[in-house]
Chains A and B, each alone.
Chain A
């Protein structure tokens, strides 16, 4: 059942006020967050002020948005005017935003109440939520396991019931992989359907703000609220967005579901098993299964890392210690020296690695071999998908090759570390929408997730297919720590 609609109903019927609901959540956070480290900043005053405004609105207008008065949380790379946006980096530890992200503003305009900011890998680079300066976030199913990353704080908070829903950001799977690890739902929208203005850029042509919720219905409600053209982000599309919420019929008859071996081959047995069970479910409901071929998918990760790092290398040049953010406390002999020291001290290891890689890929002698080739291959991959979507309506795959890994998971190589993104990164590379939702439970009790990926603007189709599954086959997930959402 939809959490947002449940709360909205209580609020509108006067069974609870937004202030009371917000206090309940603040209490839960106080109790559970020390164990989870999902929030890195809780903002009780801010939340209660918003809540009391919502109570005023709710007392007059019962027809307001279902989001009015319902609390939520934001990943700490989304800007809110006057508040810290740290990206969990020393570089921005004391940085306060001077404007509010467009997508966040849309939620605020509909009466969302913000409880606080959530944990992430430094600057959203990472897959385990363990590189930030505030320490790692933990998985509510097993505190010794990672909640995934980079939006690990969001997934942990939603999963443990200390945030009804959150906004995360997804550059290469950063909302879907943690959703899979923590047994929640995440929708990476079509590139350009949600404004990036106010999202602290990681890789410009990949980044999208994405709802992370406990149910598919919630995902649809939040997506409907944040999508649309924004004059502050020229990459957003000027088009009419049909509400996805009203497309949730649960009817999947004749839906053509594509399956590609490429996404299954690298996954664990139990993951494949869970995903195949979901396939069986869809078949039983009258969907058709189609084998699809994506000839260039094996290049997806190299392309993603080459192009992503290239964009990162130029996006991160602005952190020079001059106008905002961290500035070296050491002596420096000139401006160059100041900038070098500031960046050396202020940015983490993985960021520096990606910046250096990006500079290498873009440099004159390597541009053709790397950046240009990767750009060309990106187009090939986009063509692969559009060919595939001629024969199917969506592609079903695991979200992550395995269930959550342990907190001290140390991949043997950087490549292995990056491999966690194999199923999720292609959607960002190609701008496609992708929905991640839980589809099973592993032997160790950890959630297993599946991903539905579709052509541009197929959010409605994906959410409806997810909704159909969730309605009848939602796995019985029980976090070891956390609270039930009903009051």
Chain B
């Protein structure tokens, strides 16, 4: 009998509030080191924390979007430890009374990954090692974080990936965090153990500070086989924290000191217990946008495929744009425009995320309607779209300016007649039953009209004319 993987996540997500959690320094990433610090966030003696209300709103949004219950009574605790990146020598966190409890995220399979809690806390600064010197950048110090803690409900690597992607998607859609693992605004501690079905949970190890999905997958795979082979070889497993080694995909135990840490938690005496009013929670609930899972279902209901729907909801701005455009336009054609021409233009993830294009949803929807009604054909629509994306013109302007207006029905009839007359060989082939020969006649029309006609319509007309003639 094989061993089950039992895995849970503690995910730290930096909130995208404008200012830090206990002072008014900006939270921007990537600026000059120590340019976003003040007496409060470097813990100058005599300073006191002042809670940024926005962080509560963001945390409650995250809780509501992941089906959590929002606590009515919240306070902060001190987690004491000495490290140079932590100026106060304690981190303010919600150890005993987290702001959100007991939620879940549903995977595509229908499986529920339970969320034990979401709590607010402050980030630490960053150590930069250069030779024998260590530099400290406190810009990240006291940037607000939420930590989302799951139950050990994840039992495969693909579930692990799906859970994290779903979490990312939700938090991005409700605009709580950009969840950029590469910039450190989303980091995971992964808890892993193995057991056999029906047996109690095995000894757990925790891999700290993972910042890439593929590393997480590798680390889980490595830990799984390490645990299994230890059990099979009768070796002891220790409950310990481990680090992932990027070079060879292995994990190794952290120093004993880090494992023996006693954080001496206690109530922070500088921040009063905060009572959250029901009306406050309600107002946040009302302000929540449609969640990705609901948007996805809506897209599926209007005839998009799963992969189309998933691609469209991946970026919040794309989904917002698409949702707006389909109010008046054709979903399938619009989806093709976005996933085709527009995504080709916005080649990077970052560009898709920003989704800054010159064409408004209304313009795009109008183009889709023109195509659907046959006013213009797909090829021309594509040309028009690419021009619209460049110049911001409407498709009508583009068509009229570039003399690409579709020719009138009368003109089309005369083109078709001309084609039939000038392609007598093809005509006789067609009449003798070779249906494909019609393509040659159609090709003639297309060439003469520089592709300005609708091929299906023309084909129908040709058949009609030939039949009449015959």
Contact = CB atoms under 8 A, between A and B. Distances in A.
Interface of A: 79, 85, 87, 92, 95, 97-99, 101, 196-201, 204-205, 231-235, 310-311, 313-314, 317-320, 322-324, 335, 339, 359, 362-364, 367, 371
B269 A205 contact: yes
Contacts of A101: 46
Given A234-B48, A318-B45, A320-B82, A99 B39 contact: yes
Given A320-B84, A323-B42, A323-B43, A232 B90 contact: no
Nearest to A375: B267
Contacts of B266: 310, 314, 362, 367, 371
B463 interface: no
7 contacts: A97-B44, A99-B39, A99-B44, A199-B46, A201-B45, A318-B89, A320-B84
B136 A322 contact: yes
Given A314-B80, A314-B90, A234 B50 contact: yes
Nearest to A316: B89
A235 B46 CA distance: 14
A310 B270 CA distance: 14
Nearest to B42: A323
A85 B262 contact: no
A463 to B, nearest CB: 27
A197 B264 CA distance: 25
A461 to B, nearest CB: 25
Contacts of A79: 45-46
A322 B264 CA distance: 23
Given A314-B89, A317-B89, A322-B84, A197 B46 contact: yes
Given A200-B45, A201-B45, 7 more contacts: A98-B44, A235-B270, A323-B42, A323-B44, A324-B44, A335-B134, A364-B264
Interface of B: 39, 42-51, 78, 80, 82, 84, 87-90, 134, 136, 262, 264, 266, 269-272
Contacts of A362: 80, 264, 266
B132 to A, nearest CB: 10
A98 B39 contact: yes
A234 B262 contact: no
A359 B266 CA distance: 11
Nearest to B271: A234
Given A204-B270, A234-B271, A335-B84, A320 B46 contact: no
Nearest to A359: B264
Contact of B88 (A99, A197, A313, A318): A318
A97 B47 CA distance: 11
A297 B154 CA distance: 53
Nearest to B34: A323
Among all A-B residue pairs, the 8 with the closest Cβ atoms: A317-B89, A362-B264, A205-B269, A204-B269, A200-B45, A318-B43, A198-B46, A79-B46
A231 B82 CA distance: 29
Given A231-B50, A320-B89, A314 B270 contact: no
A200 B262 CA distance: 26
